[in-house]
Amino acid sequence: MNYNDLQIKILQFLRIHPTGATGKELARSFGVSLNTIRREFSVLYDILNEDSLELISRPSIGYQLVILDEEAARTFFQNLNVQSNNPLFDNNKSHNYKMNYIIRKLLTKNDYVPLIKIANELNYSESSVRRDLKLVEKELKHYSLTLKQRKNYGLYIEGSELNKRICLISQHKFFVNLPKEQQKLEPDFWSTFAMGDAKIRDCMIKIRKQLIGHPKLTFKLINFPIVFNYIPIIHSRHKYTKLIHVEAIQKTFLKNGGLIDISRELLLSISDVIDINEEEILAFAMILQAYRSVTDVLQLTNTEREFMRNVTQGLLDEVDQTIYISDIITSSEFDDLICILYGVMNKIIYSIEPDLEEYRTLNKVSPLIEDLCLACANYLEIYFHRTVSYKICLSFYYLFAIILKRKLTKLLDLKLAVLSTYGMQYGIYCKNTIQEEYFEYVSDVEVLEYSQVTEEKLKGFDYIVSDVRISMLPKTCKPIYCFLESQSYQYRRVKGLEDIIDSSLEEIKSQYMYFYNLESDDLDSIISEIRGLLNAEDSFDNKIKRRLHFGCEQNHAFTLYFSCSSSKIETGAYFFKLLNGLENTKVQQIVCVIYNRFDYKAINVLNKLLSL
């Protein structure tokens, strides 16, 4: 099939922008009208007949090119480059490329970077790069990051370490999707940063060869495994010169042919209950062992271990109350599995150093815990090019259901302190009133003696409800200056608190609808439907088991749900509906897109869903 020059440029542009682009962005990039872009897309929908690619349009996001088969897609674009008069799409002249480069440059430094330095590296004028800073600011907002500009100093990205690392991973994925010829044009700093140095690169090659060459494993790794590439990238974000110790990696990974003390007893005992063969056991063990090995290299502190254990125990407590998994694996095996996987997501891929006080204050589990089910099934599929055992997938699904239930049953979890100049008795009355009225959103209310309150005592609260102004408020909490009527104890709402809860819920809804483009009524019905399903604990467990067992009998079902190979959204949506009993088509389709395209845009969407 022959494509015109503009169609080729559009396809190549969407190839290196996996999160999609609006029609206006495409029109601006190519210097054509929006009508021209729409006309070309109407043609592309008809002539793009590739099993490896799917062109879709989504409200609020724009056009996306979904890659269903990476190898076939690579061949398609190679042929496209041969046909094109411009063999390579000129990314160096693309606003989005400059935006991506600037973000990656700033995220590899822990200080201000002069604008003129970035302009010189890109071979652009300083004024040209400055014009692209609006795109940079817009992109950073998706990760709750801010671009700071300081005269005579330069540019700096401000925000939480977690968000910086997630953003860095996303920008790196943009880079690895560029053609190899284009990657060679990158300044030396990125290739040095991405893989460290020749020793790191050689170590990764040895690991890859060792895994592929194992006599009992029949699978193929695609290039370097994603997790291996991300380790040096993420671990070195604020430690640019201190990459992972090469000898430690080599010693840990390569000793005994890569299978060091792989907890075979655990896996074999699981196999007594889960119907998997030895090859699947070894494949699964290889992943777990690799994660464990890197955990040893990164050296978890005692505080981090304690934090992991506390969260794990919290999940297990939730399991005991709501979902019965004894017919899948024992609680100790499940405990071990969750510890490993939680360590993977929070320490290895992101190298996070959790702040226990911060988590206690927020009363939240790490947002990355939701990605466990997605990541595990995805790794097993991509790394080993096979459909994994349905019961392994089932165990991940149960974990996902636990987290979903945990998230959806409580939208807010506020901790309040009550201060009253009318005495403790009146404060206790106010506490009871607040807990009765706002029990869904308030986890704890504590009455404090006004005359004895200090800034130290106020730490850890989200809000202080008081009838007078307070001078010693810590930065972690905010005041609500309103109270109930004091004389008659006549009940009325705490208006300030009510406004805060309403605005918080509206903010959650607006963030949710930004990604899903849903109306308010749709959102309320979805929340109600999911809550109803998950709250019906007895019927929920049996219903899911019956449907999963039915899916097992239809051998193709789990492939559709857990693999990236399904090309039809409707098929995946049907299967998701089969599993969850949800009737809302929009939710089914979006979840299907997530399970068909494992990228960080999709995972961010999932996080928004699970934050409700």
pTM: 0.31
On whether both 201 and 339 belong to a single domain, the answer is yes
On whether both 245 and 156 belong to a single domain, the answer is no
What is the domain range of residue 448?
414-503
On whether both 144 and 274 belong to a single domain, the answer is no
The amino acid at 164: K
Q: Is residue 422 part of a domain?
A: yes
User: What's the pLDDT band for 456 if we cut at 50, 70, 90?
Assistant: confident
On whether both 76 and 101 belong to a single domain, the answer is no
CB 332 within 8 Å of CB 141: no
In the block, which residue shows the tokens 């928004």? 608
Structure tokens of 295? 């955990």
Instruction: Compute the chain's Rg from CA coordinates.
Output: 26
- CATH number of the domain to which 147 belongs: 1.10.10.10
Average pLDDT over residues 44-55: 76
CB 438 within 8 Å of CB 472: no
Measured in degrees and rounded to the nearest 5, phi and psi for residue 249 equal -65, -50
pLDDT in tens, 493-533: 566 777 777 776 665 554 433 333 334 444 344 334 433 43
Residue finishing a domain among 468, 503, 538: 503
Cα(36)–Cα(255) distance, rounded to whole angstroms?
59
Cα(434)–Cα(136) distance, rounded to whole angstroms?
43
CB 177 within 8 Å of CB 16: yes
DSSP result, 326-343:
TTTS-HHHHHHHHHHHHH
Q: Is residue 189 part of a domain?
A: yes
User: What's the pLDDT band for 172 if we cut at 50, 70, 90?
Assistant: low
pLDDT in tens, 350-389: 333 333 333 233 223 333 333 344 444 443 343 333 333 3
On whether both 518 and 494 belong to a single domain, the answer is no
pLDDT in tens, 407-444: 433 446 678 888 877 778 778 888 887 877 776 677 78
User: What's the pLDDT band for 308 if we cut at 50, 70, 90?
Assistant: very low
Residue finishing a domain among 62, 89, 116: 89
Cα(107)–Cα(78) distance, rounded to whole angstroms?
31
DSSP letter for 365, please.
-
State the total domains in the chain.
Answer: 5
What pLDDT sits at residue 155? Answer: 94
User: What's the pLDDT band for 156 if we cut at 50, 70, 90?
Assistant: very high
What pLDDT sits at residue 604? Answer: 42
On whether both 476 and 558 belong to a single domain, the answer is no
3-state class of 16 per DSSP?
Answer: coil
3-state class of 490 per DSSP?
Answer: coil
Cα(81)–Cα(75) distance, rounded to whole angstroms?
10
Q: Given a cut of 90, is residue 154 above it in pLDDT?
A: yes
CB 318 within 8 Å of CB 406: yes
In the block, which residue shows the tokens 């961010």? 604
Structure tokens of 374? 């997605």
On whether both 99 and 146 belong to a single domain, the answer is yes
- CATH number of the domain to which 459 belongs: 3.40.50
Q: Is residue 551 part of a domain?
A: yes
Mean pLDDT of the chain: 54
Sequence-distant (≥ 6) Cβ neighbours of residue 605 within 8 angstroms: 515, 516, 590, 594
Residue finishing a domain among 169, 194, 219: 194
Cα(259)–Cα(285) distance, rounded to whole angstroms?
8
What pLDDT sits at residue 72? Answer: 78
DSSP letter for 213, please.
T
Cα(586)–Cα(590) distance, rounded to whole angstroms?
6
Cα(580)–Cα(576) distance, rounded to whole angstroms?
6
On whether both 80 and 160 belong to a single domain, the answer is no
Q: Given a cut of 60, is residue 4 above it in pLDDT?
A: yes
On whether both 212 and 352 belong to a single domain, the answer is yes
Q: Which one of 150-154, 244-248, 462-466, 583-587 scores highest in mean pLDDT?
A: 150-154
Of 395, 397, 379, the C-alpha closest to 284 is: 379
User: What's the pLDDT band for 535 if we cut at 50, 70, 90?
Assistant: very low
Top pLDDT among 485 and 266 is at 485
On whether both 309 and 322 belong to a single domain, the answer is yes
Half-sphere exposure of 570 (CA within 13 A, CB side): 0
Q: Is residue 445 part of a domain?
A: yes
Locate the DSSP E strands across 288-413.
none
Report CA torsion sign: 77, 79, 82, 84.
Answer: negative
Q: Is residue 71 part of a domain?
A: yes
CB 99 within 8 Å of CB 69: no
Q: Given a cut of 70, is residue 131 above it in pLDDT?
A: yes
